[in-house]
A and B are shown apart, each in its own frame.
Chain A
């Protein structure tokens, strides 16, 4: 029992990071129906930017994070602007376009920061808290708190602001949204920017948890995607639940199968997609004849 609970606790903080990555995927997907395959690489960029500001310019962790989020958001804007001619026309091509961006970002990361990784020290005291016999790292709590705040802010933005409502409208019917005077391109750009910002947040937070290396985003990206699918693609609560579930699943898989953990995570994920492509909170889509 103790081991069981400890495994769950170990998975939750990474799960929160997966949830942030999944939120970024979902936000872009619900707004424009596109899966951004460069999202994982954007996470890596965010992680490197945050750690660079934190380590070399001695900015406080929070401030380094904000700067990283802002800069990474710009990358999101660039991706959206370049691919805009394809929007609402050919999704397979857009998908390949984002893969192209992923390839470029991957190479740029290696050019700028080198092929080897770096370790980021935890910004809070590293002594774990003992609670009911469980050891909880303080930094895990920080990650959970920040992820929760970010989610609440996102939900408030989408439901309480005019801009957020416009994005919801575009998500439901981009043609009708155009007809009532919403600038669909701008709305998509904002979705992409927020998505990239969330990626940077996830990357920055994960720095002290994992090793920051060019391969970081690939793993996080696909786990985050799995989380989004599991919860129901495009659904905000789905992304949270899916992220935590994948984090805990990951933690168990690593415990039971060691090196093969990833293999089993992907196999389970494939089976889930086949059994229920719409995920837990997903909507049924109907083919229109």
Chain B
């Protein structure tokens, strides 16, 4: 910590005294670099932190600059008023550009944002108000009483302060609740939604942040250069910006800044050979994505990991602690229905995965769902937890019709689930995985970030305390700071259950929780699930391990071929002829197998 502070102090002092060693051209370059750094932070927040491909960052930059230019020269506003309005305009544009992210992701989002960026340059090149291809010149600069901002040396300090604030805010955001949620969404948007993260709002927030940084960059640019023209905001600069973020390391804001400064300096050094510079940074981008996907910022961690591997890990390995049962809640089994599925049908093209499935689970129950592979168990979970909208039928949760609600709404209403193939957030630590689930505040409440860091920090500290208690209960304390990928499978399973319970559900859906566990781990799992139920949470579990199901569940529902073929107490169900038939088969006839849908290319 002290070392970090020292580094920050040295860098800050260096930046503060930098102008004393620079001539008038060099200070201009430094000013441009700072603007690129602000833009890169915005792009890093959107692409690296929230995982939203954004090739329109340069358009945000352009909107900020053009709006400032138009408002000062055509509307006659003062620079500062124009600046505030310009940033507001950029945010409005950012929200428009972000809307496609609600529907499409990855490549599609990349091409849509790129298309919108091209549309922007097309517009400014043609429109009257933006001065056409010539652009707008003689923009009045900002005025501060007592400070002559026409001097590029003094303008540097204005930019430096804005940059420092922008970076500090970005770093604070990444480490606290909103940023954590965004990173969770980046790693696995499905799991994040199932834990109550409002994915649509988070995606818009990512574009909003990118546009604020873009707008700030644009205002600074207009104030510095005093001239705007379409080619400054074209595709070439977009790709340059992208190169900065990728080479620096998109997931680290510091990395983005380092990339921006580094690439801008290289470009400046090769100013007489722009094509050579372009070949060089394009090639570096390719090499970085292939050999060092985390960029420059990721190198220290890779080196450390390599060294640790060579040294063959000294010291004792972390150990899984015992599970400490919950104190039993007083009243359970009130008998009220917790979940009521009625007549649910799910059709995928020719395949009817669920056929008129109905079942009711009462509060305080542990319900088992079994059935042969492909009988529709996971599909049922996906319908119940809102990932699929059923073709027909209704799902009532705690008396309310929640058919086809978005997963995050169901999660916020008190439903939580685990996944058959484990969906932990890979680039978050175990503690952060749990924190994402513990944090029940609505994403819209993130406007509080504007009020300053105190209340956010206080809430974050409270969350961390809760996470500590929870990890302690599940015996995971020693793994709190590890990335989940590095852990053995059985421990990852336990982390996922802890994370699902952290969301404080009233109904917990466990999809094959015992898959891949050894005998001892299955015994512990049984103990954990029973204790979770005793704490007042209703549990539904899909499982193939019949020993576990028979001993754990009070009632069992059997699915086969998408239909409920039996329901009742374990012993009764096991004796039902239809169940024996479904598991063992009564003949070799294949008539009753679901038909395989024809695959068309």
The reply to whether A229 and B108 form a contact with Cβ atoms under 8 Å apart is: yes
Q: Scoring B residues 537 to 556 as 1 if CB is less than 8 Å from chain A, else 0, what string do you get? A: 00000000000000000000
Contact A96 B242 (CB under 8 A): yes
Is A142's CB within 8 Å of the partner chain B? no
Whether the pair A91, B246 counts as a contact (CB closer than 8 A) is no
Known: A103-B239, A260-B126, A287-B387. A95 touches B279 (CB 8 A): no
Q: Are A262 and B239 in contact (CB under 8 A)?
A: no
Interface set, chain A 229-255, CB cutoff 8 A to B: 229
Give complex CA distance A174, B111 in Å. Answer: 25
Contacts of B114 in A (CB 8 A): 222
Whether A35 lies near B110 (C-beta < 8 A) is yes
Question: Does B112 count as interface, using CB distance less than 8 angstroms?
Answer: yes
Q: A1 interface residue, CB < 8 Å from B?
A: no
Chain A residues near B (Cβ < 8 Å)? 30, 34-35, 37, 82-83, 85-86, 90-97, 99-108, 110-111, 168, 171-172, 218, 222, 225-226, 229, 258-260, 262-263, 266-267, 269-270, 273-274, 277, 283, 286-287, 289
A260, B286: Cβ atoms under 8 Å? no
Q: How far is the CA of A287 from the CA of B286 in the complex (A)?
A: 29
In-complex Cβ contact of B123 among A83, A222, A260 (8 A): A260
Q: Report the nearest B residue to A94, measured CB to CB.
A: B289
A82 and B286 form a contact (CB under 8 A): yes
**B119:A263 contact, CB within 8 angstroms:** yes
CA distance A226 to B112 in the complex (A): 9
Among B51, B100, B281, contact of A274 (Cβ-Cβ < 8 Å):
B100
Instruction: Find chain B residues with CB under 8 A from A289 CB.
Output: 190, 378, 381-382, 387, 419-420, 423, 511
When distances are taken between beta carbons in the complex, the residues of chain A under 8 Å from B201 are none
**By the criterion CB–CB under 8 Å, are A222 and B278 in contact?**
no
Q: Is the interface of B mostly helix, strand, loop or mixed?
A: helix
Decide if B25 is an interface residue (CB 8 Å cutoff): no
Q: Are B51 and A92 in contact (CB under 8 A)?
A: yes
| Contact bitstring B98-114, A, C-beta under 8 A = 1, else 0 | 01101110111011101
For A260, the chain B residues whose CB sits under 8 A away are: 122-123, 126
Q: Report the separation of the CA atoms of residues A108 and B283 in the bound assembly, to the nearest whole angstrom.
A: 11
Assembly CA distance A283 to B599 (angstroms): 11
11 contacts between A and B (CB under 8 A): A34-B107, A86-B290, A91-B107, A92-B53, A96-B246, A97-B285, A106-B278, A111-B276, A262-B119, A263-B123, A289-B423
Q: How far is the CA of A229 from the CA of B236 in the complex (A)?
A: 24
A30, A100, A101, A274: residue with the most chain B Cβ atoms closer than 10 Å: A100
* Beta-carbon contact of B108 and A99 below 8 Å: no
Binding site for A on B (CB under 8 A): 51, 53, 99-100, 102-104, 106-108, 110-112, 114-116, 118-119, 122-123, 125-126, 190, 235-236, 239, 242-243, 246, 275-276, 278-279, 281-286, 289-290, 293, 348, 378, 381-382, 387, 419-420, 423, 511, 599-601
With known contacts A83-B290, A85-B290, A93-B293, A273–B100 Cβ distance under 8 A:
yes
| Docked CA distance A103–B276 (Å) | 11
Name the B residues within 8 Å of A110 (CB-CB). 275
Most chain-A CB neighbours within 10 Å: which of B236, B282, B381? B282
Q: Which residue of A lies closest to B240 (CB)?
A: A103
Asked whether, in the complex, the Cβ of A102 is within 8 Å of the Cβ of B378, the reply is: no
Which residues from B are CB-within-8-Å of A218? Answer: 235
Tell me whether A103 and B285 are in contact in the complex, defined as CB-CB below 8 angstroms, given that A35-B111, A259-B126, A270-B100 are known contacts: yes
* B592 CB to nearest A CB, Å: 25
CA distance A108 to B99 in the complex (A): 36
Q: Contact check: which of B111, B387, B423 meets A222 at CB < 8 Å?
A: B111
Cα distance A279–B126 in the bound complex, in angstroms: 30
Q: Are A229 and B282 in contact (CB under 8 A)?
A: no
* Minimal beta-carbon separation of A75 from chain B (angstroms): 13
* Nearest A residue to B279, CB-CB: A107
* Cα separation A100 to B285 with both chains bound (whole Å): 5
B423 contacts across to A, CB distance below 8 A: 289
Assess A100 versus B278: contact at CB under 8 Å? Given A229-B108, A277-B103, A277-B108. Answer: no
> Is A103 a contact partner of B281 (Cβ separation < 8 A)?
yes
Q: Which B residues touch A269, using CB under 8 A?
A: 112, 115
CA A130 – CA B50 in complex, angstroms?
A: 57
Q: Is the CB of A95 within 8 A of B107?
A: yes
Query: Is B290 within 8 A of A95, CB to CB?
Result: no
Task: Name the A residues within 8 Å of B116 (CB-CB).
Answer: 266, 270
A76: shortest Cβ distance to chain B, in Å?
A: 15
List of B residues within 8 angstroms of A91 by Cβ: 106-107
On whether the beta carbons of A266 and B119 are closer than 8 Å, the reply is yes
Residues of A within 8 A of B112 (CB): 269-270, 273
Give the CA-CA distance A273 to B105 in the complex, in Å.
11
Query: How far is A90 from B291 in the complex, measured between Cα atoms in Å?
Result: 13
